[in-house]
Chain A
Amino acid sequence: MENLTHIAGMESAGPNKPVAGNNPVAGNVIVAGNVIVTGNKPVAGNKTVKTEHVIEIDNLEKGFNNNLVLKNLSLKLYNGENLVVLGKSGSGKSVLIKCIIRLLLPDQGTIRVFGQNVNELTTKGLAEMREKIGFLFQSGALYDSMTVRENLEFPLKRIKKGLTRKEIDEKVAEVLDNVGLGETLNKMPSELSGGMRKRVSLARTIIVDPMIMLYDEPTTGLDPVTSDEISSLINDVQTKYKTSSIIITHDIECVRATADRIIMVQDGEVYKEGSIEEFNSSTDAIIRSFFK
């Protein structure tokens, strides 16, 4: 059985224990071995996390009106993993992923996506890079004036040009079925519940087969049952579409369900990095305030 590889520095036991000191933040490469992640996340499918990183952020700084939101933040997202960025509201988590997709320009630092420096990309290069990244907005950000079908077709027609009507219809039906909302095709977003809007939004994101997924607080404002469904969908997307994901959240149940690795951000800096196990067993007061 193939196991998950995972970051170094965690207290894993057994033959697959990573080499000590291999901290991804420090820039070292993870040992290409198989380390079992022993968190609460279901390991269905036993996907293999490859050792190369897809996103690399170095010393990122971003401020608004003399208020520094991100301070020297560095992290890496490894191929195939679900990286959860955890932190209080206002700690700069959303700013971080908006900088990755260049909806915001950082003040300092570099962001590399598939080795390309995002800040130096041309308009065409940026468009090509964005085609590889799916972004699930906190509010869902469905286009109010369009039906569910039109919402899904919108990115598909623009990114995957040249598809026939039949191919478009098939793709739309496929992604809607994947999120369990096949019957909402001709509904307007205003006719959907909060959870349904999130799921349609997720369908719109995955319809273009992204390689990286960025989730901005995917379970915020949802009831526990719907939150669990969204968390399961995040895992399903990772398994089915082989995506690498950054999940911004402060919902611990979502963290437990989805995280391969956790980075905790406090006041714009990386406060702690590790596995769900490490965070669960931590005695640190700030971490305990989340993992009660």
Chain B
Amino acid sequence: MNKVKKNNTVFKKFVILPDVKHKVIKLSENTIEKTQIATLFFSEIGEFFLFMFHTFKETFSRSFEFKEFLHQCYQIGNRTLPLISVTGLVIGLVLTIQSRPVLADFGAVSLLPGMVAVSIIREMGPVVTGLICAGRIGSGMGAELGSMKVTEQIDAMEVSSTNPMRFLVVTRVLAATLMIPILVLYADALGIMGSWAGANIKGDVPFVLFFSQAFSAVSFADFLPAVVKTFFFGAAIGVIGCYKGYTAGRGTESVGKAATSAVVLASLFVIIIDLIAVQITDMLF
């Protein structure tokens, strides 16, 4: 009986071994799979930086596509202006309506214009405009260049002795870099106007008084970093939108994917750049 038990034990120990082997194989398969994912991830990052490098290099090439650059500036500004107008106005209005009761509790309603102006100029204006532009411009660039890739228009451009990087990418990236700060300033102005409108819902605040109080609270240290970071927002949105469109696959499905991933990545970059900008501003000012 003992022997049988002993034999059974031996047998049990023996059957465990294949399980171990199976687990080792599975583990190695998982490792290989993860290695492949990691390789893909890092090659994507490498490709992106290479794309950025080429864009930067082509920006300083001799033949700049000025006409196309102006066309893209107009397109970006024109496409985004209505959206930015409404958003800017609503931000100011909502911020004022929400803040007024809290400030009234402390008897500090007179600080309302300055508080709203600082928060709009420093943070709300740039980030909200940046995120809207990431959605509107980033997706537009991703989809446009993606569809041009799918329908061989980029190849056609290349065989027409035109550098597509210079014509399509550099012009769009520069236009976004230039136009987004302008759109942010416009949104800031409309936000303060919206705030004045909000302040007048429960009171009668003269326009000149509101604006003089608002701008007396804003200093150069509020204004400059906020404007500088929007140039980086613009560049990031332009580069990501173009990269996703330019490297889209061959099928029509890839156009949608390019547009979606451009929005997601550009929005993420806007938030990350904002975080870095806040840290740098905190150190410098």
A pairs with B:
yes
Residues on A close to B: CB < 8 A?
98, 101, 103, 127, 130-131, 133, 135, 137-139, 141-145, 154-155, 158-159, 208
Q: Are the CB atoms of B160 and A103 closer together than 8 Å?
A: no
Q: 14 interchain pairs (CB within 8 A)? A: A101-B159, A103-B155, A103-B159, A130-B161, A135-B159, A138-B152, A141-B153, A141-B156, A145-B144, A154-B162, A155-B160, A155-B162, A159-B160, A208-B160
Q: Which residues of B contact A98 (CB under 8 A)?
A: 155
Q: Are the CB atoms of A144 and B147 closer together than 8 Å?
A: yes
Q: Which residues of B contact A133 (CB under 8 A)?
A: 159
Q: Determine how close the nearest CB of chain A comes to the CB of B150; give it in whole angstroms.
A: 9
Q: Are the CB atoms of B161 and A141 closer together than 8 Å?
A: no
In the complex, the chain A residue whose C-beta lies closest to that of B159 is A135
Q: Determine how close the nearest CB of chain A comes to the CB of B66; give it in whole angstroms.
A: 14
CA distance A267 to B156 in the complex (A): 27
Residues on B close to A: CB < 8 A?
144, 147-148, 151-153, 155-162
Q: Determine how close the nearest CB of chain B comes to the CB of A264; give it in whole angstroms.
A: 25
Q: Are the CB atoms of A144 and B153 closer together than 8 Å?
A: yes
Q: Are the CB atoms of A139 and B151 closer together than 8 Å?
A: yes
Q: Which residues of A contact B153 (CB under 8 A)?
A: 141-144
Among the interface residues A133, A138, A154, which one has the most CB atoms of the partner chain B within 10 A? A154
Other CB < 8 Å A-B pairs besides A98-B155, A142-B153, A144-B148, 9 of them?
A103-B159, A130-B160, A133-B159, A137-B155, A137-B156, A138-B152, A141-B153, A141-B156, A155-B162
In the complex, the chain A residue whose C-beta lies closest to that of B158 is A103
Q: Which residues of B contact A208 (CB under 8 A)?
A: 160
Q: Are the CB atoms of A141 and B158 closer together than 8 Å?
A: no
From B152, B156, B161, A127 is in contact (CB under 8 Å) with B161
CA distance A22 to B60 in the complex (A): 53
Q: Are the CB atoms of A139 and B160 closer together than 8 Å?
A: no
Q: Give chain B's interface secondary structure class.
A: helix
Q: Which residues of A contact B152 (CB under 8 A)?
A: 137-139, 141
In the complex, the chain B residue whose C-beta lies closest to that of A134 is B159
In the complex, the chain B residue whose C-beta lies closest to that of A201 is B156
Q: Determine how close the nearest CB of chain A comes to the CB of B55; give it in whole angstroms.
A: 17
Q: Are the CB atoms of A155 and B155 closer together than 8 Å?
A: no
Q: Are the CB atoms of B160 and A154 closer together than 8 Å?
A: yes
CA distance A131 to B148 in the complex (A): 21
From A101, A130, A141, A154, B151 is in contact (CB under 8 Å) with A141
Q: Determine how close the nearest CB of chain A comes to the CB of B84; give it in whole angstroms.
A: 23
Q: Determine how close the nearest CB of chain A comes to the CB of B169; give it in whole angstroms.
A: 15
Q: Are the CB atoms of B159 and A130 closer together than 8 Å?
A: yes
Q: Are the CB atoms of B155 and A131 closer together than 8 Å?
A: no
In the complex, the chain B residue whose C-beta lies closest to that of A154 is B160
Among the interface residues B144, B157, B161, which one has the most CB atoms of the partner chain A within 10 A? B161
CA distance A139 to B250 in the complex (A): 13
CA distance A185 to B283 in the complex (A): 59
CA distance A103 to B152 in the complex (A): 11
CA distance A143 to B145 in the complex (A): 11
Q: Which residues of B contact A138 (CB under 8 A)?
A: 152
Among the interface residues A101, A141, A143, which one has the most CB atoms of the partner chain B within 10 A? A141
CA distance A93 to B161 in the complex (A): 23
Q: Are the CB atoms of B161 and A158 closer together than 8 Å?
A: yes
Q: Determine how close the nearest CB of chain A comes to the CB of B151; give it in whole angstroms.
A: 5
Query: A158 with B156: in contact, given A139-B151, A141-B151 (CB under 8 Å)?
Result: no
Q: Which residues of A contact B159 (CB under 8 A)?
A: 101, 103, 130, 133, 135
CA distance A144 to B149 in the complex (A): 12
In the complex, the chain B residue whose C-beta lies closest to that of A131 is B161
CA distance A138 to B147 in the complex (A): 15
In the complex, the chain A residue whose C-beta lies closest to that of B154 is A141
CA distance A135 to B144 in the complex (A): 22
Q: Which residues of B contact A103 (CB under 8 A)?
A: 155, 158-159
Among the interface residues B144, B148, B155, which one has the most CB atoms of the partner chain A within 10 A? B155
Q: Which residues of A contact B156 (CB under 8 A)?
A: 135, 137, 141, 143
Query: A158 with B162: in contact, given A135-B156, A137-B156, A141-B156 (CB under 8 Å)?
Result: yes
Q: Which residues of B contact A137 (CB under 8 A)?
A: 152, 155-156
In the complex, the chain A residue whose C-beta lies closest to that of B63 is A158
CA distance A144 to B148 in the complex (A): 8
